Amino acid sequence: MKVVLVSALVAAGVLMAGAVQASPELATSAGCMKCHDIDKKKKAEPFKAIATKYKGKAGAEATIFKSITDAKGDHPEMAAKPEEIKTVIKWVLTL
């Protein structure tokens, strides 16, 4: 039983690490990089500035997700799926 549990945890960790590593490419394919850059200002704040702004704040992922997906907000509509947006947000917060 312990072996199964440990194996499941290791597998989940590997899958999550792969998703986070794929996020720069995902951010590009989702269209995020049209307005954002990692460390330079384009049309919008750089991802590193966003990460600094939300560092250590509870609910940061949910707050960012809501601001991106809120139809009444000023963020352009995205073609990305909600899961993809969440993956990019998690990656941005690691910068």
Extract the tokens encoding 13: 């960790």
pLDDT at 18 over 70: no
pLDDT at 9 over 60: no
pTM: 0.74
Distance CA 84, CA 57 (A): 22
Q: Which of 18-22, 26-30, 35-39, 75-79 has the lowest mean pLDDT?
A: 18-22
23-92, what's its fold? Answer: Cytochrome Bc1 Complex; Chain D, domain 2 (1.10.760)
Distance CA 67, CA 94 (A): 19
DSSP state of 75: S
- How big is the CA angle at 52 (ends 95 and 49), to the nearest 5 degrees? 80
- DSSP calls for 3-71: HHHHHHHHHHHHHHHHHHHTHHHHHHHTTGGGT--SSS-SSS--HHHHHHHHTT-TTHHHHHHHHHH-T
